Structure 1
């Protein structure tokens, strides 16, 4: 499982020119799922993401968590995080999770996040989405379950 976490001042996602999710300060997270991932994998990734201390404190140190700043989440499914570009110039996506499996885990992640974060917004699995954000910093972190 892969999460690309971007600390944002604001972010939104649209489908067919209609905003379906929007947050102010928090994380816009791109989520990639493989067929090897499980709910236990998702639980570890969620705990790590929510516990990250990447917001600045009064001394300018990255020492505050999402909860400390009353931050929100915008969670976007992103199968292209499993693009394999080793051969040729056209990426292969065979390492990405099968759509039904990945969709179920994406929904699981959303529900688990809602249990500990007050504001959780989402994209639409499999849709052609347009994502806008104001990256704060910029500050971007990649979490890969293979490295946890």
Structure 2
């Protein structure tokens, strides 16, 4: 007989609930800058990894291409991202951050860093290391389970 669990005992539920709280907290930090958490993540990835296709960015963000395209359109309109045709593939666009985006990210960074410190308050570096290792293992297990034939 399968052991019955309460919903809140599942790893996925706990991770989802925590992620929602973290997202709301980050949304609060970003609101004064007029940027969403998704846009912030996209800008950070482009800043870190450099220019790339929209498809590559969507894969990196683990988001649908249409969702990323809509978000990028808003960033282009704000002058934070440029989008140019890929010379190797006319169907694709290359996206990259502008100097304005880099300036905005440097303004946002201390605010987000302070929030990160608040979120990690009372948690030792050792516990954080273990936590990140466990999260990585859970992600690997979930990915493997999703790709299995079971």
Q: What's the TM-score once normalised by structure 1's chain length?
A: 0.28
Q: Which has the larger radius of gyration?
A: 2
Q: Which has the higher strand share?
A: 1
Write 1 or 2 for the structure with the bigger share of helix. Answer: 2
